[in-house]
Each structure stands twice: as structure tokens, then as C-alpha cells.
Chains A and B, each alone.
Chain A
């Protein structure tokens, strides 16, 4: 049985750990709130963007739409996968889940004879995937909540580059990210990102009552579409990143909250052990004294 002193120092250690996990939990909660604010702040732009795209697309002849590189579907044995994880650990199963999803995707595609080009965002998935024998083409650190939009554009450029600028362009780009449902629930998922479905773009316009208004276009609708699409893609990537950030903090908050609870339980158990050990020691001492006194009395 551990000595009194050992137990006491162990209790001290666990208490310190609990202090740290509690602090991390609070930091994560604050950052989560900030990330959620960002998500809300970014929504008007995304909505307006979609609206505008829906406004312009119906005015562009179908064959022109089909010529847009970002809308073109093509056949091929190469697919791109963008994995979004965090830079740091201590956030529960957040990174593991997304990496597992990404790996499953890679294995499926490779089994089907396809080549997967990887881009990783966040140090965790970059390092883990490399260790498991994958070779990401490009790796970025995760962008923080306050990152300027330009940083996001560098990532977008790499992602779109896979699709339209690479020597061996991929036929599809998929994105593995963690969807933010609420602070305790996040879903790791893999979604197709490029090509943008032309149907979705045109449909967005049909639903709008104002789409029969005749606009003046400057420059013409076709060029406008060519300008709009890349920005639309930029914005989509931004949305994915924001969502992943919110998920990361949500996940970390839950993990740290659980860790604090566990530390509390551990402290309770250890304290019980400590008290028992102390009681044992007292009992033993008493027995010694009583035994000694009895031996003296017999004489």
C-alpha cells in the first residue's frame, strides 16, 4: 500500500492537472463563442453570394456554363482530398475521427484503382497521415479564428489548383471536415466540393422571385460568372474552415470538461484512500500502545 506521503503528493498532482484542464476548458469556451460569432458574421456574405450567383447564372447560356472550369465534370483516375484538422491536440477524438474518415476515403478510392492527391490543413492530420504512409502534396497549418481572409485564399488557391492548374488535374475534389452541430456534437464528414454542381447554381436562381428582373451587366453575365465562381469557391472554403474551427473548440471544451470531471473523481478516490491509510496508521499506533501497556500490566 502506498505511503501517506505518496498519496498526498498524488492528490496534489491531480489537483494541478484539474486546474489546467479547467483553464483550458474556459479558454476553449471563449474561443468557441468567438468562432460562432465569426460563423454568424460570415453568413450574410455567403448568402448574398449565392443570391448573386443565382441571379447571374440563368442569364448565361447553358453551353457557357458547361465551359466554366469549376463547373465541368470530367472522368479521371485522380481525385483530390482536403483534410481539415487542428494544430493542437487535447481536443478529444476530434482529430482521430477526421483522420479515420480521410483514411477510409483514401482506401476506398485506392481500392477502386484511383490515385488520391492530399492536401492537409492543420498540423495534426498532416503529421499523422504522413506517419501512416501517405504523402500530402501540400500541408497548411490550421488558420486561427482571427486569420485574415488572404490566408484563407492561399489555401483556396492550392485546393482549386488541384482541380484546374495541376499538371495532372484531379477529376473531383472532396473535403473532409468536421461539421459543427452544437457545442457537444460534431460530425466528421467527407463531402464532394468540386466540381460545383451546375444544377445547384441555376436552381438557386429559379427559387428567387426577383430573378425575372432585367439587370444591366457590367461586364456581361458570362464574364461575371467567371469572376463570381472563384470567389464563391473561396467563400465555401472559408465556411468549411470556420465550421471546423468551431468544431475544434467545441470538441476541446467537451474533452476538457470531461477531464476536469475525471480529475475530480480521482481526487475523491485518492482522498478516501488517504483517509483510510491515515486511520490505519492511527489504529496501528493505538494497538502498539495498548499492547505495550497490557504487557507491562501483566508483569
Chain B
């Protein structure tokens, strides 16, 4: 197997993960991208979506993130996310309820800025439900 690189996932509230990983996939603004050992230096913005990585033991883990930034340099990767949650920590029922609530809040007349903001919330809620589904596999 190819080499590993260190990955750190931090949110404003706490450090979510810190360890060696072999493969990593994240939701960039223009779609998902993958990162492997010896990736050239990259700084990328992340959208809301599913974050996936395979740790050194070959175990694949899923997280949902609400958007943030990604930086990799000399096999050190950092994810700065506004919110991040491991799939196994998500309460599927609560996530589904949150998605419905986010959908409801999108109806009616809204200013552009408000609509964009709520759409982001919905996108995060959707991703959360999807990732919650990954935990049971």
C-alpha cells in the first residue's frame, strides 16, 4: 500500500480527528476530490457534504461537514470545518427531522442573501442524512 499522511480535522469547538490516513476524499466547491500520499500543496474551500477517509488500518470512516477549508502540505493535511460529525455520531431520526425543517424554512418570500443561507443549511442537512446512512453499512 502507498504511504500515509497525517490528517487533522478541527472545528471551532473542538479537534474532531487527528491521525494517519491513507486515502482522503472531500467535497470541494466544484465537486469531490481525493487526496493521496505526496499530494502537491493545495488549499481548497470545501462545500457542505460527505468527507471520507481510510485510516492507516484500512478502515473507512465517514463524516459530514458543513463547509470549510482544506490545506495539504508535505503530507500534512488539515480540514477546518464550521461543523463536522462522524457518521456513527449522527442521530438519523434527528437528522431527517432537521432536513425537513430546513426544507420548510425555504418556502415563502425570502431575500437573496437569506435564501442562499438557508439553502446552505438545507445542503448540510441533506448531507447529514446521507452520511448517517453510511454508518449502518
Show the binding face of A for B, using Cβ within 8 Å: 38, 41-42, 44-46, 48-49, 52, 55-56, 149-150, 152-153, 165, 210, 213-219, 223-224, 227-228, 231, 234-235, 238
Number of chain B residues close to chain A: CB under 8 A: 25
Which of these, A49, A153, A213, A217, contacts B73 with CB under 8 Å?
A213
Stretch binding the partner chain, chosen from B8-16, B56-64, B128-136: B8-16
Q: Which among B28, B78, B83 is the interface contact of A149 at CB below 8 angstroms? A: B83
| Chain B interface SS verdict (over half) | strand
Residues on the A chain within 8 Å of B30, using CB = 218-219
Q: A49-B80, A52-B80, A149-B82 are in contact. Are A216 and B69 (CB under 8 A)?
A: no
With contacts A41-B15, A210-B73 taken as known, whether A215 is within 8 angstroms of B78 at the C-beta atoms is: no
Instruction: Tell me the nearest residue of chain B to A53, going by C-beta.
Output: B69
**Closest-CB distance, A45 to chain B (whole angstroms):** 5
Nearest to B82 among chain A residues (CB) is A149
Determine whether the beta carbon of A52 is less than 8 Å from that of B43.
Answer: yes
Asked if residues A44 and B15 are in contact (CB atoms below 8 Å), the reply is: yes
16 A–B contact pairs at CB < 8 A? Answer: A48-B80, A49-B80, A149-B11, A150-B83, A213-B41, A214-B41, A217-B43, A218-B28, A218-B43, A219-B45, A223-B45, A224-B43, A224-B45, A224-B69, A227-B69, A235-B12
User: Which residues in B have their C-beta under 8 angstroms from that of A42?
Assistant: 12-14
Cβ of B113 within 8 Å of any chain A Cβ, yes or no, is: yes
Which of A38, A210, A213, A228 touches B69 (beta carbons < 8 Å)?
Answer: A228
